[in-house]
Structure 1
């Protein structure tokens, strides 16, 4: 990001360029206001944000957000079991809509069910609330389950390239590593979801749902802290879609950086949950569920009620 002085002008120092970009991500103030604050032009602010997000995408994202190896997966599973009593669980998945300015091309694709234009921010966190898989930029009209199926994560895990063949006997069923999702996702051997509450759940199924929901709070809290620190994810982003996506990825990496270094977080920053943040429509059990996923869930049900 560093620039050199020329015969015509003195460049903006590197630390100031970084500060301008971070200020934009943290406040989502308009370029003109940030320019007045830092004593630079609106164009300079825009270039600083673009350069910072591009650089973060090349270096910081790869450093802070990466698929865990087998040793790391076992460590993550042990943490989940010690804290929430869920064996073999290595994370939880969730998503959110990031408001954007309606793009000129295919703007209808970005019009979500909540009545505004957005891109979808999807991620998986470990038990400490750190993102280890992210995918973002999909049009807001897509359902959560569809976004998951279009992700690199879905491809890798179904090809057996992500979760190693490390199984444990859970309730009489051999189960590998898995993540937790809400009712919007399809049941898989590597993705556990709650039982659909039809008013006729057994006591054991209710216990299972409560424990799954309690553990999934970790991803909801992670998204709350992510948006609390980086307010550009809360308000409408008037940048083009490609820059908005870069800003989202940079914020994800900065979230992990802050969390791992123990950066202080003020709970007053957390956004309030509004009705517009309601979950996606439920995916019925038969839609995308596999037989092995049913077996693993039944085994986990027996384990949690033992």
Structure 2
């Protein structure tokens, strides 16, 4: 009985001590609301957005502006207008909110330069959790604002336009797109084992995509583990299931140019994809006759468009040059926001009229492979040394 009473008294004493400690913790005032280096006055006075961006605009240095944020001032204003309402925060008595323009600048630099969010924290003078929140919210806003106009759902009509353009630019009739997979390098997900470890000896997720003849993505699926093959990843996409079931159909069979032969419309891929009525792959083997070699040449020439798409995407958004250290959900968010920005800038900055000569454009002459040579400038972009 005495032991039980003594135990009860000890428990009550412990509860009183904990209660007293909590009360002191509640009464303790913050020494500062925000660290001095992140104070709004320092950010306005020394942060890169209101200083560097302002200097670039005032000096009318379009080339350096485009190098900094991967777009011209006109495209920047257009994009800012699309996401402004989604990023605007109301002013409170405690602090001045970070403007939508600065939020967009932080996120674009995160994607374009491949820096860690801790590096951005010091560069833009925001707290780490603030920086993480800004990039996540802004990427979500970018995807929501651009997906309907710049990553539309596939339809038979726009596939017809793609096929016509493929023939006029790359001399391959009935081709409705080029397909391939790209490994997005990431730090090993928690408790994932070897699920995301690929044949290239790093951890990744697979970006499966189809593009048109003008370096724009028409279909994107992301998130599959890097250990899977391209053919297996594609077969599990909704697009492949719809093609197999007939829920989605490519344009009707069309006559080959200069002949009376009806031939199906198709998507071109490499040897990793199965041969189907809607997927065309090259003839296997080395000892082929002349006709088969000519066919493989034409097919490979068209298929290289998707390789160039991936190369330009990574060259412009250099976050893909280093392992991405974040959750799988945010890696998918990064991929989709970069793809959306790629298509937006391909249309808005370049006018969708082929590779342009103006050096401030998103894709310039020489960025993509020209003719039959692997000479696109995206192949020569060095990986960043400071992350």
1:22 aligned to 2:108? yes
Identify the residue that residue 329 of structure 2 maps to in structure 1: 242
Which of residues 342, 356, 362 in structure 2 aligns to 1:264?
362
1:116 aligned to 2:196? no
Identify the residue that residue 66 of structure 1 maps to in structure 2: 152
1:106 aligned to 2:192? yes
2: CA distance, partners of 1:81 / 1:270: 24
Deviates more, 1:242-251 or 1:4-13: 4-13
Structure 1 pair 112–221 and aligned structure 2 pair: CA distance change class (3 A): same
Unmatched segments (≥5 aa) in structure 2: 1-86, 351-360, 368-375, 383-387
2: CA distance, partners of 1:119 / 1:2: 32
Q: TM-score, normalised on structure 1? A: 0.84
**Residue pair 1:227, 1:271 contacting (<8 A) in 2 also:** no
Which of residues 268, 278, 301 in structure 2 aligns to 1:214?
301
**Residue pair 2:216, 2:343 contacting (<8 A) in 1 also:** yes
Deviations along 1:225-276, whole A, 9 cap, x unmatched? Answer: 11111011121100111100110010001000111121334649724499xx
Q: Bigger relative contact order, structure 1 or 2, given CA contacts below 8 A and separation 6+?
A: 1
Identify the residue that residue 339 of structure 2 maps to in structure 1: 252
Deviates more, 1:102-111 or 1:187-196: 102-111
1: CA distance, partners of 2:243 / 2:104: 36
Q: CA RMSD in A?
A: 2.0
Identify the residue that residue 195 of structure 1 maps to in structure 2: 283
Deviations along 1:187-230, whole A, 9 cap, x unmatched? Answer: 01111000112x32111111110111111121111111111110
**Residue pair 1:163, 1:177 contacting (<8 A) in 2 also:** no
Which of residues 172, 180, 201 in structure 1 aligns to 2:268?
180
Identify the residue that residue 8 of structure 2 maps to in structure 1: none
Aligned residues: 273
Identify the residue that residue 34 of structure 1 maps to in structure 2: 120
Instruction: Work out which of the two has the higher radius of gyration on C-alpha atoms and give 1 or 2.
Output: 2
**Residue pair 1:66, 1:132 contacting (<8 A) in 2 also:** yes
Identify the residue that residue 37 of structure 2 maps to in structure 1: none
2: CA distance, partners of 1:153 / 1:12: 40
Deviations along 1:125-144, whole A, 9 cap, x unmatched? Answer: 00101001000111100010
Identify the residue that residue 304 of structure 1 maps to in structure 2: none
1: CA distance, partners of 2:254 / 2:156: 14
2: CA distance, partners of 1:102 / 1:228: 23
Report the Cα offset of residue 162 of structure 1: 2.6
SS state of the match for residue 222, structure 1? helix
1: CA distance, partners of 2:274 / 2:237: 14
2: CA distance, partners of 1:95 / 1:42: 33
Identify the residue that residue 12 of structure 1 maps to in structure 2: 98
**Residue pair 2:213, 2:305 contacting (<8 A) in 1 also:** yes
2: CA distance, partners of 1:119 / 1:175: 35
Q: TM-score, normalised on structure 2? A: 0.67
